Amino acid sequence: MIPPRFEYFAPSSIDEAVQILDRFGGEAKVLAGGQSLLPVMKLRLAEPRALVDINRIPDLAYIREDAKSLRIGATTRTNDLNDSELIHARYPILSDAAYEIADPLVRNMGTVGGNVSHGDPANDLPACMLALGAHFVVRSPTGTRTIPAKEFYQDTFVTALESNELLLEIQIPKARPGQGNAYVKLEKRIGDFPIVGVAANLVLTTKGTIESAGLALTAVGPTALKATEAERHLVGKAPEDAAFQRAAEFAQEITSPVSDLRGPAEYKRAMVRVLALRALHRASARAHGGA
Amino acid sequence: MPSAGDEETGPFVNVHVTVNGAPRSATVETRTLLVHFLRENLSLTGTHIGCDTTNCGACTILLDGKAVKSCTILAVQADGRELRTVEGLETDGKLHPIQEGFIEEHGLQCGFCTPGMMMCSVALLQKNPHPTEEQIRRAISGNLCRCTGYVNIVKAIQHAANKMAGPSGGGRP
Amino acid sequence: MTVHGGVGQSIKRKEDARFVRGKGNYVDDVKLPGMLYLDIVRSPYAHARIRSINIEKALKVPGVLAVIRGKDLEAANLAWMPTLMSDKQMVLPVERVMYQSQEVAAVVADSRYAAADGVAAVEVDYEPLPVVVDPMKALEPGAPILRPDRKEQTNRIWHWEVGDREGTDKALKESDVVVKENLYIPRIHVSSIETCGCVASFDAMGKLTVWMTTQAPHAIRTVFALVAGLPEQKIRIISPDIGGGFGGKVPVYPGYVLAVVAALKTGHPVKWIEDRSENIQADSFARDYHISAEIGATRDGKLTALRVKTIADHGYTDAAANPSKFPAGLFHIVTGSYPFEKAHVEVDGVYTNKPPGGIAYRCSFRVTEAAFTIERIVDSLARKLGMDPAEFRMKNFIPPEAFPFKSALGWEYDSGNYQGALRKAMDIVDYDALRKEQAEKRKRGELMGIGISSFTEIVGAGPSHTFDILGLKMFDSCEIRIHPTGKAIARFGTKSQGQGHETTYAQILAEELGISSEDIAIEEGDTDTAPYGLGTYASRSTPTAGAAASIAARKIRDKAQKIAAHLLEVSPDDLEWKDHKFQVKGVPDKAKTMAEIAFAAYTNHPPGMEAGLEAVDYYDPPNLTYPFGSYICVVDIDKETGEVKIRRFVAVDDCGTIINPMIVEGQIHGGLTMGLAPALLEEIHYDENGNMLGGSFMDYLLPTAVETPKWETAKTTTPSPHHPIGAKGVGESATVGAPAAIVNAVVDALAHLGVTHIDIPITPWKVWKILHEKRAA
């Protein structure tokens, strides 16, 4: 219940923050919402030498659209996704997911950046990032770079983020006409980690066939998984059950779920199919202007 | 404010907060959890601790008006900010509608989860003065209760909503 | 004249005034000058020899003052202590640890944070030993003997049986139909939102005061006196506000003893408050019964016999909280609401490398296990006979005219009207319409189920001829004193942990004494002032202390009658107690209220009579009480995911006379939720190395407001003939009756696929597996 001691910094600029991270060479952790970090520190499963509290850095929390992208600042609170009419109207996959992350109290503190970059295969937003084709803007002492989500998740708790880098912004391709997306989560009890989660994003041509597809999975592998084969299969097809069934089967094939307190592997694999179908149908309905 | 910039702070830090409208402060270790700061340094023991994995919500308070779990926030993160705890619900001897609601509708039994439930409810009603039952149940899904089975807690919150939204009770913070 | 706050009124609770203001006084709110903190080092191994415990580093941690180890306790003969079942339990081990998370050493420091740092710095060298987690394997020849200190070298703790073994065997053999089910009820944990803890403090005169999360302060005081050798008048146990008990705050945990030892050693008050993970991993498990039940009937559906065998997994020592003659508690209520002529029950307690216990989880003593067994197997039998489960129950219930009813296993049920309760539940839920709906849905391949549970429970332990805990008889007490201005104070030997005693006891007394409940102060929990009692658990308060309240009040009325006669200048026989006052028979305006009488008791009492107006009663209940009910649960199952959703749940309860309907309803709501929990969500398992799986709230999932349905409640009222006001108690009924209703509903939804039982908790994947296999087949 009691965390170990650490050195504490509350920088007021991004540059200061990354310099401190650099100085500690991997032994400092970023404190944003703290809803993943502080619990593991309280159990003494993690004992970082230093915490870099980024909550005092201005202009890191925003949700805005420009000509090309939806841009979400890293310290945007998870509940802000729920509260945003823009997100509900044009990127409902994110409010679907946000609505199911932990509980409302945790969501008031937990950040989008934290959920996206923690590297926990049970976090819900990474699959959404993969399905949407997101990019992450990160800063280090030497400059800024952009990492595509599909290159970001390397292994359980291992991401492409270097220990001296700070996630600044999430960029998602701007919503287009004919686009619909959804996130579906199966859990043992509300607020729990997912048994399985599926994120689906469809963009339809004016003729109504699938122009591009994003399909990604939560909690059935060492990281969130992008179902590339399934996505390829969907392109050019009619957004109907036949194509979705096949895509769901492709998605199942890439999974390596573990049997644990949230179900046997066999069940999780079967649920990938069930949820993929539900997510694709809902994304398609939204692409057609439904809810 | 803790030392700004990249100057190290610690192991102790001076934390200044406004709690229930009053300025309070104490010097604590940087690792001090906000819930311990409230209970031990400020002697506000109405906020309770029921778990060690951020699940039960007994520690719920309002931080700048938002309902949060004070066991998973460092006291130093609250520096310079406004806190509201159960002790701040009653004003000038008059109970807050949520407190009345819990009494009228038998929304508590052992009372241990109650402060957290009420603080969560206050935040809900500030944001959504006319919540549906489903919205209420969702809003308190991060607050566990073992005694009541939640039915009367929902009624208590509805009671408060009706009171606050009424002609004479409207706008109660 | 009616009295304000009498029996049957839904008055608001007095205790709420402090709780809604955050002014409750729970143990962790207690703060004494110079107070130190105790934290505990715990074993990561389920079974290991302790090679060494190195405390050097820990003693150097800033703020740490002392570290206590088993050998320190051994010197004071405190390394072991007796359990409530007369087994023995380690306070701290000297040689071996016996379960994961067992207490190994205690760190005392000047702050909570320093104590935690101290715990992290203690170095223990363990030599792992073979682990026994399967109680069946523990009984096999060649299994490691976990308790070499016992006389008999076996992992069997005890064997207990009751009933007619030969008669039952014969009756089953001769039955037209016999159904057998194996039911495993896994470990669960009460997890009241407040964990356990205490503050121990010796004053300058050597008197020990312990603020403790305990449901039974007097019993604890006596146990401390006997075990620690402290004179009992120099021990004060204060049970302040308790954040939920449910049985989990009955046992004596090592942490309490360690805090007392630390207070003695340091000369300062010492606080110990456990974390939630410690609470789940080391304290108060419930259930863990492996049950095999067989039930027989005639061809036309009349029950004949019941045979139940159980293996009870108790962990490494029998630290159950049962009355001493009943190591399996009141499990032999398993004949339930039915008049079996032949029945036999046997239970074997077994040692394993798990935390000790076997305490109630809001269910009297093993009564949920019993009700679950009978209501599940009756359902299976009905289905085998092709009979509707409601019809089958109606046909077989003990009829109302048969009460008091003597069961084949020795209980005398006080009163009941099982048909009435089930009929009412069926009407409320519109049972026939549901069956029609189910038939139509089944044609379309949709899964819907209706489950019934018609339970009889047994509470209010208990009569002195049969019941004791460590020799202490299970009476309970009430002491009343009425002040000159007509207000009163009453103290009890019980201890509320949310049940609302400050309100309900005042209501009983208001009714009996004609004093407004607002004017009656109720106190419990301080052993220096409260009369001796056995505490609150197993729904015993209303049946025992509630009865004591009535009897004590009537003793006061006896004296009051004489004072009234003196004031009115009549003979006491000329008076009657009517409309909450003493009136001259036939002359209603010649009367005296209790307030007038009370004043006179101090200013104008009859010559030769003692002044004052008070009484005490220690009530020895003549029997237990038998609340009952019928629950009907409607579920819908998602065919693809296996998720079970409770669409509707109707609970008809009968607890006899209802003191406060609002409070009773609240108890039912809470009890139903703690019935849903093990049916669908909660379980504790161990892997083969004795590692607990799911030892925190992250994995041990309690129901939230989202899973919990909108419970529908109703009542019938069949008073207890032997209780002074006909009340039976109700705190645990719903936890006893609900699990079977939910499981019966799920099995009912899948019965057409040949399913007869699913072990709890019914997770989505268990349902999915059944559907998957049936589809494949």
- At C694 the pLDDT is 86
CATH number of the domain where residue A15 is located? 3.30.43.10
Please say if the pLDDT value at position B8 is more than 80: no
Q: Scanning the structure block, which residue is given the tokens 């592998």?
A: A221
Q: How far apart are CA A253 and CA A246, in angstroms?
A: 11
**CB–CB of A106/A137 below 8 Å?**
no
Same domain, A193 and A169: no
Residue C401 CB: number of other CB atoms within 10 A?
6
- At B10 the pLDDT is 54
**CB–CB of C553/C509 below 8 Å?**
yes
Q: Calculate mean pLDDT across residues A92-103.
A: 97
First to last CA, chain C: 72
Nearest C-alpha neighbor of B150 from the set B98, B101, B108, B120: B108
- At B2 the pLDDT is 42
Same domain, B80 and B17: yes
Tell me the longest C-alpha to C-alpha distance in chain B.
53
Q: How far apart are CA C147 and CA C349, in angstroms?
A: 13
Cis peptide, bond prior to residue C404, ω within 30 of zero: yes
CB contact under 8 A, C120 and A189: no
- Domain boundary pick from B88, B112, B138: B88
The number of folded domains in chain A is 3
- A288 close contact with B: CB closer than 8 A: no
pLDDT, mean over chain B: 92
Q: Is residue A291 part of a domain?
A: no
Residue A236 contacts by C-beta under 8 Å, 6 or more apart in sequence?
A: A209, A210
Same domain, A227 and A267: yes
Burial of C283 (0-12, 13-18, 19+ CB in 10 A): buried
Q: Is residue A1 part of a domain?
A: no
- Domain boundary pick from A173, A202, A224: A173
Burial of C611 (0-12, 13-18, 19+ CB in 10 A): exposed
Q: Is residue A230 part of a domain?
A: yes
CB contact under 8 A, B47 and C22: yes
Q: How many CA atoms lie within 13 A of B116 on its CB side?
A: 31
Best of A1, A8, A24, A99 to disrupt the B interface (most B CBs within 10 Å) is A8
Which residue numbers of C have CB closer than 8 Å to A's CBs? 112-113, 116-117, 120, 275, 277, 640-643, 681, 693-694, 699, 701, 703-704, 706-707, 763-765, 768-769, 772
pLDDT in tens, A31-48: 999 999 999 999 999 999
C112 is catalytic: no
For residue A274, the chain C residues in CB contact (below 8 A) are 640-641
CB contact under 8 A, A195 and C764: yes
CB contact under 8 A, B67 and A105: yes
C42 is catalytic: no
Q: Is residue B173 part of a domain?
A: no
A123: containing domain: 63-173
B78: containing domain: 12-88
- At C460 the pLDDT is 95
Q: Scanning the structure block, which residue is given the tokens 């009653």?
A: B90
What would the two tokens of residue C103 be? 């207490």
Residue C585 CB: number of other CB atoms within 10 A?
12
- At B168 the pLDDT is 45
Q: Scanning the structure block, which residue is given the tokens 């000509």?
A: A67
Q: Is residue B6 part of a domain?
A: no
pLDDT in tens, B52-103: 999 999 999 999 999 999 999 999 999 999 999 999 999 999 999 999 999 9
Measured CA distances, C276 to A94, A104, C115, C195 (Å): 33, 21, 17, 6
- A141 close contact with B: CB closer than 8 A: no
Same domain, A263 and A222: yes
Q: In what order do the strands lie in the sheet with C48-54?
A: C96-97, C48-54, C123-128
* pTM assigned to the model: 0.97
Residues of chain B with pLDDT > 90, as a percent, come to 88
Please say if the pLDDT value at position B7 is more than 90: no
Count the residues in chain B.
173
Q: Is residue A58 part of a domain?
A: no
**CB–CB of C344/C163 below 8 Å?**
yes
Pick out chain C residues at pLDDT < 50. 777
For residue C117, the chain A residues in CB contact (below 8 A) are 2, 4
- At C543 the pLDDT is 95
Type of residue at C130: P
Nearest C-alpha neighbor of C313 from the set C360, C349, C359, C282: C349
CATH number of the domain where residue B19 is located? 3.10.20.30
Nearest by CB to residue C673, choosing from B31, B108, B149, is B149
- At A272 the pLDDT is 98
Q: Give me the DSSP letters along C591-641.
A: EE-HHHHHHHHHHSPPTTSPSS-EEEEEE--SS-B--EEEEEEEEEE-TTT
Nearest C-alpha neighbor of C725 from the set C396, C504, C470: C504
Same domain, A183 and A164: no
Report the SS3 class of residue C462. Answer: coil
C732 is catalytic: yes
Residue A29 CB: number of other CB atoms within 10 A?
21
Same domain, B44 and B75: yes
C153 is catalytic: no
CB contact under 8 A, A38 and B54: yes
- At B4 the pLDDT is 39
CATH number of the domain where residue A90 is located? 3.30.465.10
Nearest by CB to residue B55, choosing from C662, C674, C697, is C697
Best of A40, A42, A188 to disrupt the C interface (most C CBs within 10 Å) is A188
Nearest C-alpha neighbor of C199 from the set C274, C272, C111, C251: C272
Q: Domains of chain C, with CATH numbers?
A: 16-22+476-619 (3.30.365.10), 31-129+194-243+250-282 (3.90.1170.50), 285-397+417-461+623-776 (3.30.365.10)
For residue A191, the chain C residues in CB contact (below 8 A) are 704
The alpha carbon of residue A3 and the mean position of all alpha carbons in its chain are separated, in whole angstroms, by 27
pLDDT in tens, A199-249: 999 999 999 999 999 999 999 999 999 999 999 999 999 999 999 999 999
Nearest C-alpha neighbor of C40 from the set C353, C262, C316, C268: C262
Please say if the pLDDT value at position B170 is more than 80: no
Nearest C-alpha neighbor of C495 from the set C235, C85, C219: C219
Q: Is residue B76 part of a domain?
A: yes
pLDDT, mean over chain A: 97
Q: How far apart are CA C656 and CA C718, in angstroms?
A: 5
